[in-house]
Amino acid sequence: MWRWVWAALRPWDPYRSIKAALQALVLVSVLITTGLVILAIHSATELRVITIFSAIASLLITQIVANGLTAPLREMTAVARAMAGGDYSRRVTRVRRDEVGELAETFNRMAADLAAADRHRKELVANVSHELRTPIAALRAVLENVVDGVSAADPETMRIALQQTERLGKLVSQLLDLSRLDSGAARLDAKRFEVWPYLSAVLKTASLGMGTGGGSRSRARADVPLHLDVSPLELTAYADGERLHQVVANLVDNAVKHSPPGGRVTVRARGGAAPGSLELDVVDEGPGIPAADRVRVFERFHRGSHPGGDGGTGLGLAIARWAVDLHGGRIEVAESPRGCRIHVTLPGAAPAAP
């Protein structure tokens, strides 16, 4: 109740309203002038002396009030100039309780957001540079060996070069998805579809990708069979086919990478509680994800703390989470007796607008 009372009295609180502070300044100046005039009448002091003292007192009070009002504004100007020069660490410290104080708090929040955006930009540039440098260096080494005659341009050497080129193409595709994520340019084109033929086509495409590229890594990936489990077989769902393809493809690719040779990756689909909703699980038989990494695993460029990393970009799960969030769904690392199980929930068709 008292909070409501103070909120109602705020326009008349000099400490919480600039308007009230200026009104108090005028009132105090009038009272001082009136008091000096009364003093002059009773003491026979000359009016011009009273006028001078009244003017001096009013100027002093005005200076004090004006300095208190404008100090945060001057500090904000200094902080803004520092931010223009690239220094996002400074903040406004003289925070009042009036409208200027609210502006200063909003300014500090804006500065914090800009600092975070600048930090993310620098991290993104550094991570992208690192990711691009590795396949480019490998591809350059292969081509230099061919040009210098160290190795012949046989099919095996060309497969290694093709593998690095494919890795570059995949990274560029993921970065394009990441740019759509940041810009908010992607939109949903959700439609109802049959789950079995759709997921079967996605897994077939993934299987074809596992068998290309050559090298020991591709042979190990080809040794991981993909299994599809949809119940009931006539199950239908409501989602954006392209975005869902990104989710399933990235999850399957991540599961295959962390599966041992001979291990199986299972994609399991069930209907949800709401019409058109979908419960999707991607399960592998790899080492699993430590509990400490189960939240951070969906962050950009996070590869986890378990050994045996394969040099992935760390963008696949982040893009999968973005596509699921775009549907208004949920993606998480679920408990599994063996390996890793990623659980995806898609809400289905949105209720019709009135």
- Average predicted confidence (pLDDT) for the chain: 76
* pLDDT at residue 227 in the model: 92
218-245: average pLDDT: 81
> CA-CA-CA-CA torsion for 112, 116, 118, 121, nearest 10 degrees?
-170
pLDDT at position 186 over 80: no
**What are the b/e assignments for 122-133, b being 16+ CB within 10 Å?**
eeeeeebeebbe
What confidence tens digit (pLDDT) does each residue in 15-70 have? 566 667 677 777 777 777 777 777 767 776 666 777 777 778 777 877 777 777 77
Between 283 and 17, where is the model more confident?
283
173 or 314: which leads in pLDDT: 173
Return the structure tokens found at 134.
């590795």
Confidence check: pLDDT of 127 > 70: no
* pLDDT > 80? residue 203: yes
* Calpha distance 28→67 (Å, rounded): 17
The answer to whether 120-183 and 190-346 have equal CATH topology is no
User: Over 80: is that where the pLDDT of 295 sits?
Assistant: no
Q: Read out DSSP for 87-106?
A: ----------SSHHHHHHHH
State the Cα–Cα distance between residues 19 and 2, nearest whole angstrom: 22
Per-residue pLDDT, 131: 64
Whether domain 190-346 has CATH 3.30.565.10:
yes
Q: Inform me whether the pLDDT recorded for 132 exceeds 50.
A: yes
Task: Note whether 50 and 37 are within 8 A (CB).
Answer: yes
> Order of strands across the sheet with 226-231?
226-231, 265-271, 278-283, 341-346, 330-334
Cα–Cα distance for residue pair 216/238, rounded to 1 Å: 39
User: Tokens 């009104």, residue?
Assistant: 23
With contact defined as beta carbons under 8 Å apart, do 188 and 326 qualify? yes
Q: How confident is the model at residue 196 (pLDDT cuts 50, 70, 90)?
A: very high
The third-level CATH classification (topology) of the domain covering 120-183 is: Helix Hairpins (1.10.287)
Q: How far apart are CA 303 and CA 312, in angstroms?
A: 7
Close Cβ partners of 302 (under 8 Å, ≥ 6 residues apart) = 293, 296, 314, 317, 318
Question: In the chain, what are the helix, strand and coil shares in percent, each to the nearest 5?
Answer: 60, 10, 30
User: Where exactly are the structural domains of the chain?
Assistant: 2-113, 120-183, 190-346
Q: What would the pLDDT profile of 60-106 be if each residue is shown by its tens digit?
A: 877 777 777 777 788 888 888 888 888 888 888 766 667 777 888 88
Q: State the pLDDT at residue 82.
A: 86
d(CA 111, CA 108): 5
Greater model confidence, 120 or 350: 120
Q: Which two tokens stand for residue 55?
A: 């003017």
Extended strands (E) in 178-252: 190-194, 226-231, 236-240
What pLDDT, in 10s, does the model give residues 334-352? 888 888 899 999 997 754 4
**Predicted confidence (pLDDT) at residue 307 exceeds the cutoff of 50:** no
| Pairing label, strands 265-271, 226-231 | parallel
